[in-house]
A and B are shown apart, each in its own frame.
Chain A
């Protein structure tokens, strides 16, 4: 079998197109979940830090950290997963900081979104793109 550059590009474009399709639906689902969490309130973009790798070596285990000083709870969503839910962190009276780290699954390159509900009832969010690599050896 001969691999040509043109052939490889065509295959690559086909795969990309296929992968793009469900993302739109999931994005909308993520937006719906944010609206549900915020009750439609306006969402600021300062006061929350979302730390994610720029490139995840494997989508099965992606380390993330959310930090929103003064938050009551933080909703984390993966906008490109089959279902966008990841986790909701609710901080109790003895939380030493409104910060948490975990490891998550990402179905492919996509935006991870964190939305924090602050003690005064306001909302802030952060959004990071994580590139997820697809392995060469058996996927």
Chain B
């Protein structure tokens, strides 16, 4: 697991049924591009988060494939439809096999 990886998510606690809400996510990750060299001239191996998914009650909202051109500390903003109360699950997949997860519950009201 890359060190110091920390996800942050902003999602509303409540929504009305069928409402589209704005979701923001940020995760601390250096997103080493594989294009840089160290002080000895050796290429620093690529180490990035290559996929991000967001699902709600088992149904997909967005599934993103990331390349090294995504900035350090990857940020995404998108919209989700909330059909009923439930749990929103966020998953980031690291090149090194690590998976970072977090979840938010949304109520209808």
The answer to whether A and B interact is yes
Residues of A within 8 A of B (CB): 60-62, 65, 78, 81-83, 85-97, 99-106
* Chain B contact surface mostly: strand
Contact flag A81-B69 (CB < 8 Å), given A92-B60, A94-B61 = yes
Are A86 and B60 CB-contacts (below 8 A) given A92-B55, A96-B20, A97-B20?
no
- Hey, which chain A residues are within 8 Å of B56, CB to CB? 94
Asked if B63 contacts A85 (CB within 8 A), the reply is: no
**Which residue of B35, B71, B77 contacts A82 across the interface (Cβ within 8 Å)?**
B35
Seen from chain B, the residues whose Cβ lies within 8 Å of a Cβ on chain A are: 20-22, 33, 35, 55-56, 59-72, 74-81, 83
- Contacts A95-B78, A102-B75; A86 near B67 (Cβ below 8 A): yes
Query: Which residue of chain B lies nearest to A106 when distances are taken between CB atoms in the complex?
Result: B69
Cβ-defined contact, B71 with A92, below 8 A: no
A103 to B83, CA, bound (A): 29
* A-B residue pairs in contact (CB < 8 Å), sample of 19: A61-B71, A83-B68, A85-B67, A89-B62, A90-B63, A92-B63, A94-B60, A94-B80, A94-B83, A95-B61, A96-B20, A96-B78, A97-B78, A100-B77, A101-B75, A101-B77, A102-B74, A104-B70, A105-B69
